[in-house]
Structure 1
């Protein structure tokens, strides 16, 4: 239903977008800060990436649950609870003591923050549809897209700028310390939390829905064990039975039981029946491959630039910024082209650009000009932009209107989960390659110069392996396009 005329819809949207900005910054702000966190906590790359992998995983698991919560709990209460959760999560990470044995607390803060973001972000679009008339939705969606689209783009650059040197903003001093990257998201969510009790209203009608706790437990345990196994690969190796093989196998088995249960429930927790329609499944798989190809470079590149090339956090953030901005510019262009040339041709071109932009990355070395890296990164992100929206639109357009919410939940959940798995997988591969190629410590004493050179080469080998994996994802995605139906408007 539409909210009452006495409610100021634009003020409500202002609060929602303010909170969304903080959540979006939390998603991407750690990219350029990972090398700094590695030094501060004395941890390796694989361990540091846990802050990203667990955030993405928990965020994905919350998406189907958020739909239940939105229909069960009044809008105002649900969002205030989410904002408080985000405050707690940001504070936990920000005030974690910089000690290796306290890293778990930093990750716990990221998990709590991800729970909040997993509630807030999926509901933003739903609330806009409920609050605004069709003639007004375009302007509201445009404002939402500006915030939700630009915040992740500026996150890595903002972190790099903060870590570069001390800054003073409105009398507040931000030191070049990893804790400072949380200050701005923290202040933003504080503002949203203060405004929420006064400006938010109960937009959606609530219903007494029953939550299938068995499905919730199976999904959390299944996805959690599966990811935990992958994160242990770096330290334990692929052959470790107790900490790699067992959790991955147990996770797969629990997820199989979860899938079986969804097919038996009249109202499933996550409706996987949508995958029975190949016109939905093929674009969705292609979308997952594009997402995995994107993260394969995006999450590895800042660490390569800082640890191998010796760039500052700011310089590495600027290198990423142009790709993120180019992706934002190309996204509306992709929407225009989608209706003109159709999804198949557009995705052929997009995956082709992505593939061509990724090939040079497997040949990066310690002297590759950063301007070349930046141009190639922008090219890759343009390719991503050309396939993301068309593939999503094609997948959703293949389903009946009454299955749109189920398709969106399944699509978004798989995207977030696959992102977390690919980040864990590739960082584990990189760390394994580095560990296997690092020379013995005795060489450090006998020939420090040779030791440093071999360590650098070992790191380079690891990153090139990750970039090669991204190329493979892009190529497989290109192949999947052959099996797609050519549909310009996503008709069913």
Structure 2
């Protein structure tokens, strides 16, 4: 594929509309990634409509995380083996099928498996489209515009998960007129609205998505495939069980984590021995790639440290509805969407180090006050702090993600993206399990005795609230700690805009440089 400032050419040397193609990729992938966090506020509704328990309803999130996580390593093989246009058409078809199954599955306990199947198919599609979009962006933009391109990618990675809970809260508390029909307080709308967007993207992909990545006939290594799926799947499954079973459960938590870890190590060992690996883990031998990937993981963990617990705090302590708690977080989510492309463009000028230092510093400063919030902390103050945090997340994450893709040659972009996204997915699963268990344990150990509930109900209620606050504060403190670790890590990455060796997009690329 070749490119100059005026014309972008596909793999066949034919010009295509880059802007139209990027728009199709962004809107389709955004609608898919939105599904990662959209069910957080809908669990009680699903429990009621399907007549299922809380743990059963949580499977809608658990299985999504599992399917999404195991697809990340596989994405490198798929993007190398299948041409871009075909892979996107297949992925959007799967995304359409998955969302349709969840949106229109019968609301009864015997049909819950249909809902779960839809969630799994959706997650599989997202596990392909999200990393594939990053690889495409790296290849269709020249070096001097790469930061801005990854900033657009950041709108999907950052804004979609952040806005999911707010959108779901709004949907569940309002009546909506859709295609002439009034839908009242329905969880189905959570899927129907993005489904319409995905169908549009699916149709447009036939016309605007072109083959822009080189492919080669690559035999699927069945053993690597099995090790990847089982290893990462079992490992993530173990962590997702912590919230319901606790760290002490041998059967559903400890054993899966240990077994998954052993299988992952076998997978890594096999990839190092193969001349043409299924997923090239040798990318981690590059110090700068490893550092930036670790820093991105810390960004995710610091972000989740507050984002996961804050809605619960707002609803349980302040008595807010799902809609109002989502609205408190909405300005921060929107600010992240605005800042992602801005931070990407800033990378094109000054590189990742200074931006990520500023980003992590802002993230830490925005998290610190959360460690001292009380039952009477004003909602406006929380909104401001949360927006400040998301500003920091975008300022750090976008340049770091771009740099992690730029320190390696273009022919390794697919493997670098798969590795980076897998690490980020694992980090998200681990931090959710860690924070949920730590917060719950502190709440349980700090709550008053049952005898006090009868002797002094008012005091019992106050002590229970105090126990909850202790748990929330520790969760926020862990989020602050991850921000500090990330801040320390980024001091060791290179200064300036890192540019890899080789040729890409018709532009001669120079050695890594420092400002």
**TM-score normalised by length of structure 1:** 0.85
2:295 corresponds to: 286
Whether 2:38 is the aligned partner of 1:29: answer yes
2:322 corresponds to: 313
When structure 1 is superposed on structure 2, of 138-147 and 331-340 the one drifting more is 138-147
Q: CA deviation at 1:134?
A: 9.6
1:475 corresponds to: 484
Say which SS state the counterpart of residue 383 (structure 2) adopts.
helix
Whether 2:267 is the aligned partner of 1:258: answer yes
Q: CA deviation at 1:358?
A: 0.7
Mapped to 1, the partners of 2:370 and 2:115 lie a distance apart of 32
Mapped to 1, the partners of 2:411 and 2:174 lie a distance apart of 52
2:242 corresponds to: 233
* 1:299 maps to which of 308, 311, 316: 308
1:65 corresponds to: 74
Whether contact under 8 Å (2:41, 2:322) holds in the other structure is yes
When structure 1 is superposed on structure 2, of 353-362 and 67-76 the one drifting more is 67-76
Cα deviation digits, residues 400-424 of structure 1 (max 9, x gap): 4443332222112211221122223
1:405 corresponds to: 414
2:7 corresponds to: none
Mapped to 1, the partners of 2:43 and 2:209 lie a distance apart of 36
Cα deviation digits, residues 111-147 of structure 1 (max 9, x gap): 2211011222333355567778999999998877767
Unaligned runs of 5+ in 2: 2-9, 500-510
Mapped to 2, the partners of 1:79 and 1:404 lie a distance apart of 18
Whether 2:192 is the aligned partner of 1:183: answer yes
Mapped to 2, the partners of 1:421 and 1:26 lie a distance apart of 19
Cα deviation digits, residues 359-385 of structure 1 (max 9, x gap): 111222322111111111111111111
2:367 corresponds to: 358
When structure 1 is superposed on structure 2, of 29-38 and 225-234 the one drifting more is 29-38
Say which SS state the counterpart of residue 178 (structure 1) adopts.
coil
Mapped to 2, the partners of 1:11 and 1:330 lie a distance apart of 22
Say which SS state the counterpart of residue 374 (structure 2) adopts.
coil
**TM-score normalised by length of structure 2:** 0.82
State the aligned residue count: 491
**Pair 27,228 (structure 1): closer, same or farther in 2 beyond 3 Å:** closer
Whether contact under 8 Å (2:147, 2:344) holds in the other structure is no
Describe how 1:82-97 pairs up with structure 2 within 5 A: 82-95=91-104
Mapped to 2, the partners of 1:342 and 1:70 lie a distance apart of 28
Describe how 1:343-492 pairs up with structure 2 within 5 A: 343-438=352-447, 449-490=458-499, 492=512
Mapped to 1, the partners of 2:127 and 2:286 lie a distance apart of 27
Mapped to 1, the partners of 2:207 and 2:412 lie a distance apart of 35
Say which SS state the counterpart of residue 486 (structure 1) adopts.
coil
Cα deviation digits, residues 416-458 of structure 1 (max 9, x gap): 2211222233223333444444556676666654554444334
Whether contact under 8 Å (2:77, 2:279) holds in the other structure is no
- Backbone CA RMSD of aligned residues: 3.6
Whether contact under 8 Å (1:296, 1:422) holds in the other structure is yes
Mapped to 1, the partners of 2:150 and 2:266 lie a distance apart of 38
Cα deviation digits, residues 240-267 of structure 1 (max 9, x gap): 3222221111111111111111110111
Cα deviation digits, residues 45-100 of structure 1 (max 9, x gap): x8766544543453243233223223434555433432332233223433556678
Say which SS state the counterpart of residue 177 (structure 1) adopts.
coil
When structure 1 is superposed on structure 2, of 396-405 and 464-473 the one drifting more is 396-405
Mapped to 1, the partners of 2:433 and 2:118 lie a distance apart of 18
**Pair 374,110 (structure 1): closer, same or farther in 2 beyond 3 Å:** same
**Pair 47,483 (structure 1): closer, same or farther in 2 beyond 3 Å:** farther
More helix by share: 1
**Pair 386,80 (structure 1): closer, same or farther in 2 beyond 3 Å:** closer
Mapped to 2, the partners of 1:36 and 1:218 lie a distance apart of 37
Q: CA deviation at 1:300?
A: 2.1
